[in-house]
Amino acid sequence: MSVPPSTPHDDLPLLARARASMPGGVSSPVRAFGAVQGDPPFVVRGEGAQLFDRSGKRYVDLVGSWGPLILGHAHPAVVEAVQRTAADGLSFGATCEAEVELAEAILRRFPFADRVRFTSSGTEAVMSALRLARGATGRDRVVKFEGCYHGHFDALLVKGGSGLATFGTPSSGGVPEAFTALTEVLPLDDEAAASALFADKGSEIACVVIEPMPANAGLLEQRQAFLEHLRSLCDEHGALLLFDEVISGFRVAPGGMTERSGIRPDLVTVGKIVGGGMPVGAFMGSENVMELLAPNGPVYHAGTLSGNPLAMAAGRATLAQLDEPGVYATLEARGARLEQGWRASLDKHGLPAGIARVGSVLWLSLQPGPPPRAFHLVGEDGPRIYSRLHPAMLERGLWMAPSAYEVAFVSTAHSEADIDEAIAAFDAALGAVLTEAPA
């Protein structure tokens, strides 16, 4: 497949060129469509709730770049802010005004926090927050939950087994077991397992990290009592509680799950929406913890492009739009409309399945019974159906994530008509898949 530089590239279809030049033809693995039938189209343009591929085909988009695009594609205010900023230079490696303004806009929404530090991705935000938690407590052990994703850095790239606390074994090649030996993996939705782990190792635990709204292995909605239990365990044993709100921050409420739950975490990580489509992450906490960061304290974190004016301008413009009255009510209403439509379609076709939804985040739980709250309860039939459902939806103009474990995101750009189109396309696709012979 190797392409000599002199070959005129027009001779090779773009997908073949992508696969010849990049592993899997992608820069992030799920984009390769490995878990669904069909090949990934190349997107050339987005506008509001719509995407257009190279052939000119139009889709209603429920991926939203995997979460960031709460305003839809190419929102005029965000595009204008980026264009205006870019004309004055892309990066200075010095603190800029937009950075201060975005920091203030974040802290207004997360009043528990006094300081925020910017990164260029969600991964970096969680990785650095974890280092800070270890630095602040002088402890080494960290706790995560099965089915929660916190980015692709070594320490948390652990899935672990189901059931009780599992000793951390890496779920990626290239991660030494020694690097994850200090990572404990617990099942979600299980107070007893968390209590047992703390009874055993509580004095060694620096930090409990959780997606308070787990949305990377389906949407595994947690009970308020479970999150409160984690808060009490951390308090009792002197550990820090880290809410990873890279998806839920600014999405389910201005202050994310921190606001919705009313629980006070010690650290919060955000990403995705905070960059409005540009690469941004951030972590925040109280003054006494955050001031342990370099240059004021001993815990190192840095970034050449962190806080760059372009990314800050996009984030600031995005959060400003979310300040408009009624935005979250609209997101809730559109999400509810989509849920109702999909539910009616599942009922009509007699597929035993549920829909999990928090505001504008939805997940098709393609298995009988209510949507599960823990990863080991997510069955394998869903992904099998979804692998055939996905191309049928795509064909009918509905752009959904190419994995049964990914959620759908509704944006403020989705009109009722866009939602109805997504419902109709889903219904037609489901009908087609259920009547054809299984592949």
Ligand X SMILES: *Cc1c(COP(=O)(O)O)cnc(C)c1O
Instruction: Enumerate binding residues for ligand X (CB under 6 A).
Output: 121-123, 126, 149-151, 211, 216, 244, 246-247, 271, 281
Q: Which is nearer to ligand X, 241 or 419 (CB)?
A: 241
Q: Is 272 designated active site?
A: yes
Q: Which is nearer to ligand X, 102 or 346 (CB)?
A: 102
Nearer to ligand X, 122 or 371 (CB): 122
What residue type is assigned to position 266 of the chain? D
Of the candidates 61, 244, 418, 427, the residue annotated as catalytic is 244
Q: How far is the CB of 151 from ligand X (least distance, A)?
A: 4
Contacts of 159 (CB under 8 A, 6+ apart): 146, 171, 185
Can you tell me the distance from the alpha carbon of 159 to that of 150, in angstroms, rounded to the nearest whole number? 11
In the set 59, 149, 328, 405, the catalytic residue is 149
Based on CB atoms, which residue is closest to ligand X, 52 or 153? 153
What number of other Cβ atoms are within 10 A of residue 262's Cβ?
11
Q: Least CB distance from residue 249 to ligand X, whole Å? A: 9
Nearer to ligand X, 254 or 341 (CB): 254
CB of 303 to ligand X, least distance (A): 13
Active-site option among 61, 159, 266, 272: 272
Instruction: Compare residues 144 and 388 and give the one whose CB is closer to ligand X.
Output: 144
Smallest distance from the beta carbon of 8 to ligand X, in angstroms? 35
The question of whether 201 is a catalytic residue gets the answer no
Phi, then psi, of 185 in degrees rounded to 5 = -115, 125
Task: Tell me if 39 sits within 8 A of 33, measured CB to CB.
Answer: yes
Which residues lie below 8 Å from residue 333, measured CB to CB, with a gap of 6+? none
Q: Using CB atoms, what's the residue nearest to ligand X?
A: 122
- Shortest reach from residue 246's CB to ligand X, in Å: 3
Least distance CB 213 / ligand X (angstroms) = 9
Amino acid at 48: G
Nearer to ligand X, 211 or 427 (CB): 211
Pairwise CA distance, residues 206 & 211, whole Å: 17
CB of 160 to ligand X, least distance (A): 17
CB of 271 vs ligand X, minimal distance in Å? 5
Nearer to ligand X, 150 or 316 (CB): 150
Which residues belong to the active site? 149, 244, 272
